[in-house]
Amino acid sequence: MLQFIVRRVLQAIPVMLGVSFAVFMMMHLLPGDPAIIMAGEVASPAQIEQMRINLGLNDPLHVQYWRFLSNAVRGDLGTSIRNERPVTAEIFEVRFITTVQVALVGTGFAVVFGLLLGVLSALWRYTIKDMIIMIFALMGLSMPSFWMGILLINFFSVYLDWLPIIGWGTPAQMFMPMLTLGTGGMAVIARMTRAGLLDVFSQDYIRTAYSKGANERIVTYRHAMRNALIPVITVVGLQFGFLLAGAVITETIFAINGVGRLMLGAIMTRDFPVAQGTILIIALMFVLVNMIVDITYRLVNRRIDI
């Protein structure tokens, strides 16, 4: 098992390097000159050129990338152009924890209700109840998160006046962001759970368990779920990564002070260090989650060699 973990960590290193290079190049290809933004539009050409020298923007791209990478490895993601604060302080003081909380709450909702609906749909297979659950899952999968958020605000906050529109921290504030972020993941998990259980129910050992007199609950939860959940583990891990990245939209709709909202503001104002840092952190979290999923996959079934 230790060798497997070491191999997955070594495999993740080139992926992380590729992610860092993609983030670096993406921000440099965007329109806008950070030297002009930092110096101000009324600055003279000499002042702008001096700012470019101070920021190292006149260096070749490979030199800039190496400086960015070496500083990032040491935990230095640069300084914000807008407020001249360290990017790591901007991200990790409050915002990062908030974004992780948003993603965890959304993932928890998706997992609990996705598994529940998937199991019920498989037990009620090919019935009206099964069709209703799958139609509900299809609607959740098809509806964009920003549209879901707007509908929830109109219903719970404007029409019923039950829930606050903005903020994060109280259960009332968490409810609508949780639904907005977790509904799509819930639909995916429900469909995957149903498909996995239906495939397992057709196996010989399930028929053998029924022939021995085991009831449906024992067959489902003791025999079928263990094998049916193996692909679902991957989906859950990927959904957490997607929700971590998708928190940008949810945080913007509900004015949640997280990394996603910080990243959007940095992109809009051409604050390159903050934009690079936030995108890099979210991308690396996605890679880390995938690595943890692979390790969990192996723990569930040691015969799997990824």
* Nearest-10 Cα torsion for 225, 187, 231, 234: -130
161 within domain boundaries: yes
φ and ψ at residue 56, rounded to 5 degrees: 75, 20
**Which of 285, 295, 284 lies closest to 17, judged by CA?**
284
Asked whether residue 29 is assigned to any structural domain, the reply reads: no
CATH of the domain at 164: 1.10.3720.10
Give CA–CA dist 61/80, Å, rounded. 20
Structure letter (DSSP) for residue 168:
-
Specify the amino acid at residue 14: P
Cα 85 to Cα 251: distance, rounded to the nearest angstrom? 22
CB < 8 Å & 24+ apart, contacts of 81-84: 81/34, 81/37, 81/38, 81/269, 81/270, 81/271, 81/272, 81/273, 81/274, 82/266, 82/269, 82/271, 82/274
Would you say residue 136 lies in a domain? yes
Structure tokens given for 21: 């290079």
> pLDDT tens, position by position, for the chain (306 residues)?
677 777 777 877 888 888 888 888 876 776 666 677 666 667 778 877 887 787 777 788 888 888 888 888 888 888 887 777 888 888 887 788 888 888 888 888 988 999 889 888 888 888 898 899 989 888 888 888 888 888 999 999 888 888 888 878 788 888 999 998 888 888 888 988 888 888 877 776 666 766 766 666 666 666 667 777 777 777 777 777 777 766 778 888 888 888 888 888 887 777 778 888 888 888 888 888 777 777 776 776 665 555
251 domain-assigned: yes
Q: Is 160 contained in some domain? A: yes
Do 232 and 196 touch, CB atoms closer than 8 A?
yes
pTM, to two decimals: 0.77
In a domain, 175, yes or no: yes
Q: Is the separation of the CB atoms in 215 and 285 below 8 Å?
A: no
Which residue range is the domain that position 136 belongs to?
Answer: 95-257
In a domain, 178, yes or no: yes
| pLDDT at site 113 | 92
d(CA 177, CA 251): 8
The count of domains in the chain is 1
C-alpha 278/C-alpha 269 separation (Å) is 14
What is the model's pLDDT at position 128?
92
Separation between Cα atoms, residue 19 and residue 29, nearest integer Å: 15
**CB contact burial 52-63 (16+ within 10 A = b; e otherwise):** beebeeeeeeee
Euclidean distance between CA atoms 69 and 30, whole angstroms:
19
Spatial separation of the C-alpha atoms in residues 157 and 35, rounded to whole Å:
43
85: in domain: no
Cβ neighbours for 149, distance < 8 A, ≥ 6 positions apart: 176, 177, 180, 249, 250, 253, 254
